[in-house]
């Protein structure tokens, strides 16, 4: 990749300086060790709801349904230590490799980190969830000497409806990632993560949630081939200013407009900041209208990405409702174009995304709240990594207005992945990662 001389300062979610003079390449998902760890653990870490498996078997709840007469009353939690040991023994490749099993909620929830070798020697990240689901199934079958007629019931609790369904519908072994068949195109895997997952993994902290979402969205853009040549700088700048609060821009914009501001005053503040930083300069005049020019459209885009996030936080934060995120993304960027004559965020793609997003999240269609969308969804996939982080911020600030609340759809993500530092405090970890780069 290219070496960059331009630098940014990284700030925390509370506006404190974390690291100054960071060259742009050091936040790249290809370079930063903390970012690499996030991507690595996203692929090879699997949830096992051991307590849930016990309850599901007892009630005969398998996949998405209930099968009467196939109930199994097994003392799984009483035998938890033996089952965990069996899972680890089967999942690991070599004694002492990087297989790890973390326990939460008195062992009712397990987080299994599959050894790197399993994924390195597989075509896809499927190798993580398939090995853990099989190991969990066999560990229970072996521990309780389940016969051939009831083993399939244990399998259904762990694997869900698969293979009768394409994915592991209703499975109590799960991953952050969706199955490859559900990815909309080449390289979309890391973008196919629901907004509510990010919200719960970062404990409803809006800027930390934004950082985590932006990190995986940006990694997805790299995987899609959207960050090659000059477009690499384009992606990194947007990631830095919106996702990592570079130069404290998002924090400053929110602070200056949080008490009495509106979407329109955030537009004003952003344009003033861009003029002050000489990112844009007055150009020609057309009657009463003052056009602006820029010699660095990529940096201008990063400023507008930061502004889009700040406007979302100000507007959705004021109402404590996530629903306004789509209209905020639309009209902030519409106002930016009318104010400057320059392109809006992602050269109009955020506006386009927002139009469809408004319709599908709560207009006459109203299929679901913002929290169940992701960067792979046909409605929200079009913006290059800069729309979903704003949706995460809005849902983190929501006070319970969504039909599909994060606590309802993604509670287990907070109780497991949310206990790991790179997932719950990505801004801090990425800043620390800069020091580890040779």
Q: Which residues are catalytic?
A: 365
Q: CA 223 → CA 39, 122, 241, 370, distances in Å?
A: 12, 17, 21, 25
Here the contacts of 262-267 (C-beta below 8 Å, separation 24 or greater) are 262/314, 262/315, 263/311, 263/314, 263/315, 263/328, 263/331, 263/332, 263/335, 264/335, 266/307, 266/310, 266/311, 266/314, 266/332, 267/307, 267/311, 267/332, 267/335, 267/336, 267/339
Token pair recorded at residue 416: 């497991």
CA distance 402 to 347: 30
| DSSP assignment of 202-251 | TTT-HHHHHHHHHHHHHHHHHHTT-SSTHHHHHHHHHIIIIIS-GGGHHH
Token pair recorded at residue 100: 């790890």
Q: Is 79 exposed, middle or buried (0-12, 13-18, 19+ CB in 10 A)?
A: middle
CA distance 110 to 100: 10
Q: Are 42 and 28 in contact (CB under 8 A)?
A: no
Strand 7-11, strand 65-66: pairing: unpaired
Helix (H, G, I), strand (E, B) or coil at 66: strand
Q: What is the DSSP letter of 189?
A: G
């Amino acid at each position: 990749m290219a070496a960059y001389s331009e630098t940014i300062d990284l700030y925390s979610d509370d506006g404190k300086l974390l690291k100054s003079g960071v060259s742009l390449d050091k936040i790249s998902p290809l370079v930063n060790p903390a970012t690499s760890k996030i991507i690595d653990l996203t692929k090879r870490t699997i949830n096992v709801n051991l307590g849930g498996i016990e309850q599901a078997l007892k009630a005969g709840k398998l996949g998405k349904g209930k099968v009467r007469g196939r109930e199994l009353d097994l003392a799984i939690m009483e035998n938890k230590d033996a089952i965990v040991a069996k899972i680890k023994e089967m999942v690991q490749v070599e004694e002492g490799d990087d297989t790890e099993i973390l326990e939460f909620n008195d062992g009712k929830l397990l987080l299994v980190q599959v050894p790197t070798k399993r994924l390195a020697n597989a075509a896809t990240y499927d190798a993580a969830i398939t090995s853990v689901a099989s190991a969990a199934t066999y560990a229970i079958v072996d521990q309780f000497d389940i016969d051939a007629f009831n083993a399939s019931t244990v399998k259904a609790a762990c694997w869900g409806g698969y293979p009768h369904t394409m994915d592991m519908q209703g499975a109590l072994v799960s991953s952050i990632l969706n199955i490859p068949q559900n990815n909309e195109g080449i390289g979309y895997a890391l973008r196919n993560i629901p907004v509510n997952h990010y919200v719960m993994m970062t404990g409803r902290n809006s800027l930390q949630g934004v950082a985590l979402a932006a990190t995986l969205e940006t990694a997805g853009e790299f995987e899609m081939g959207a960050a090659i040549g000059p477009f690499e700088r384009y992606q990194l700048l947007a990631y830095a200013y919106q996702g990592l609060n570079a130069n404290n821009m998002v924090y400053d914009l929110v602070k200056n407009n949080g008490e009495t501001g509106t979407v329109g005053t955030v537009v004003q503040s952003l344009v003033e900041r861009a003029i002050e930083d000489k990112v844009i300069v007055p150009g020609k005049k057309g009657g009463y209208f003052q056009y602006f020019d820029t010699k660095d459209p990529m940096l201008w885009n990063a400023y507008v990405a930061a502004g889009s996030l700040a406007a979302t936080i100000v507007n959705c934060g004021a109402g404590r409702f996530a629903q306004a995120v789509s209209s905020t993304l639309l009209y902030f960027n519409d106002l930016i174009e009318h104010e400057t004559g320059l392109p809006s965020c992602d050269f109009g793609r955020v506006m386009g995304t927002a139009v469809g997003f408004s319709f599908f999240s709560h207009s006459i269609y109203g299929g679901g709240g913002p929290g169940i969308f992701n960067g792979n969804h046909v409605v929200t996939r079009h913006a290059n990594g800069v729309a979903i982080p704003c949706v995460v911020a809005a849902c983190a600030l929501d006070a319970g207005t969504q039909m599909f609340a994060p606590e309802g759809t993604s509670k287990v993500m907070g109780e497991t992945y949310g206990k790991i530092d790179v997932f719950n405090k990505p801004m801090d970890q990425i800043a620390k990662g800069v020091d580890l780069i040779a």
